[in-house]
Amino acid sequence: MDEEFEALHRNNTWKLVSRGAGVPIGCKWVYRVKRKSDGSVDRYKARLMAKGFLHTAGRDYFETYSPVMKPVTIRLVLTIAFSHRWCVLQLDINNAFLHDTLHEEVYMEQPSGYVDPLYPSHVCRLTKALYGLKQAPRAWYQELSLFLQRCGFTKSRADASLFIYSSHDVIVYFLVYVNDILLTGNNVPWLDQFVKTLSARFALKDLSTLHHFLGVEVTSTAGGMFLSQSQYITDILTQFKIDGAKDVSTPLVVSDKHVPLQSPGSATDATQFLRLLGLMQYFVITRPDVAFAVNRLSQFMHAPSELHWQAAKRLLRYPKGTVCLGLFLRVGQPLSLRVYTDSDWGGISTAGRSTTAYLVYLGTNLIS
């Protein structure tokens, strides 16, 4: 907590002003245990969060949207990097949101445990986009985007989180997900110089070569890279108390009647159903074999029944028995693009509708 508070002061995150200048929102301390890819404790982290849910639209904030990278972009960039045997660097920006200048007038109560003894009744007028503010992710993205464009990068038209530098014989890919960054390219000296430039502008933590990114575990082998989410799915099984259940061999029962298009039977708590499917959609990054089941169950988010909830829990029992599986990206393969597509031609018997599926390969690596 002391380290976090010192970082806030070092970045001039707020100014103390007399109460009455504006309507202050509250704040709270949030604690998290950061873990390594094997599940062991890496460090304990404290973060001061503004209670942005108390914001008023049009007064405290205007635009909030911030892009996030697509899973296909991650697989595509990694495939290109591994096929050319480029090094992939993993970077992390410390206190990323504190680098953004806040343009709106936002007031906040002083944080608990760190009230200024000389001005105990004063409030904080925020000058930087503190974590928890609705506009903070967008402000940080705009700040980073402007910096990268000044360095010669251009934003991809297919994915706003991908920035590309191409000049003469140098090509570099820069992927950003909030404050987590992947950096790869064909010129190691250029990459080293750019990391120094980046660290001079932002507080940078260099995590060296890629090993664990956004819950995806990366294991290097002689033939390529193995991507898996074993710890991620283990945590989900524990959350939903299915870690002791018997595993199954298929994501869904092979019967259209088991998950019909309508919602028969008694309704169930939609909150847990939506939460589980949201987690499983992220799991598809390294496990395309559950994509169809996740897609089918996602069609009932508006009104899930007890039958759908049972099917969702059964879906979790499938990766329980295949927790060590993942996606393998091979190196040194020709990057030819191949696409396979098929349809079940009216496979949903109750509605006469078809389900279409596709697989896109770059070389021998599945990217979409």
Tell me the pLDDT tens digit for each residue of 6-46: 888 887 889 999 887 678 888 999 998 877 766 778 788 88
- What is the distance between the alpha carbons of residues 318 and 233, in angstroms, rounded to a whole number? 11
Tell me the pLDDT tens digit for each residue of 63-99: 666 677 788 999 999 999 888 888 889 888 877 776 7
On whether both 103 and 23 belong to a single domain, the answer is yes
Per-residue model confidence (pLDDT) at position 337: 93
In a domain, 198, yes or no: yes
Beta strand 14-17 pairing with 327-330: unpaired
Q: What is the mean pLDDT of residues 116-136?
A: 85
Q: Where a domain ends, among 213, 236, 267?
A: 213
Per-residue model confidence (pLDDT) at position 245: 84
In a domain, 221, yes or no: no
pTM (2 d.p.) = 0.78
Tell me the pLDDT tens digit for each residue of 202-223: 878 766 778 888 888 888 888 8
Quick one: DSSP state of residue 243?
T
Order of all β-strands in the sheet with 123-126: 14-17, 123-126, 107-108, 24-25
Per-residue model confidence (pLDDT) at position 302: 85
In a domain, 26, yes or no: yes
- What is the distance between the alpha carbons of residues 260 and 344, in angstroms, rounded to a whole number? 16
- Residues above pLDDT 90, as percent of the chain: 27
The neighbour count for residue 112, using CB atoms within 10 Å, is 12
Per-residue model confidence (pLDDT) at position 106: 85
On whether both 158 and 270 belong to a single domain, the answer is no
On whether both 29 and 59 belong to a single domain, the answer is yes
On whether both 336 and 205 belong to a single domain, the answer is no
In a domain, 259, yes or no: yes
pLDDT band, residue 262 (cuts 50/70/90): low
Q: Where a domain ends, among 188, 213, 238?
A: 213
In a domain, 61, yes or no: yes
On whether both 63 and 162 belong to a single domain, the answer is yes
- What is the distance between the alpha carbons of residues 336 and 365, in angstroms, rounded to a whole number? 10
Per-residue model confidence (pLDDT) at position 332: 72
- What is the distance between the alpha carbons of residues 1 and 45, in angstroms, rounded to a whole number? 8
On whether both 174 and 263 belong to a single domain, the answer is no
Per-residue model confidence (pLDDT) at position 92: 83
Q: Pick 257 or 96 by higher pLDDT.
A: 96
On whether both 109 and 235 belong to a single domain, the answer is no
In a domain, 220, yes or no: no
On whether both 198 and 233 belong to a single domain, the answer is no
pLDDT band, residue 49 (cuts 50/70/90): confident
Total tally of structural domains belonging to the chain: 2
Do 27 and 51 contact (CB within 8 A), yes or no?
yes
Domain range spanning residue 341? 228-366
Q: What is the DSSP string of 158-173?
A: S-TTEEEEEETTEEEE
In a domain, 163, yes or no: yes
Do 48 and 111 contact (CB within 8 A), yes or no?
yes
On whether both 148 and 176 belong to a single domain, the answer is yes
On whether both 349 and 250 belong to a single domain, the answer is yes
Q: Pick 11 or 360 by higher pLDDT.
A: 360
On whether both 34 and 125 belong to a single domain, the answer is yes
In a domain, 222, yes or no: no
On whether both 188 and 258 belong to a single domain, the answer is no
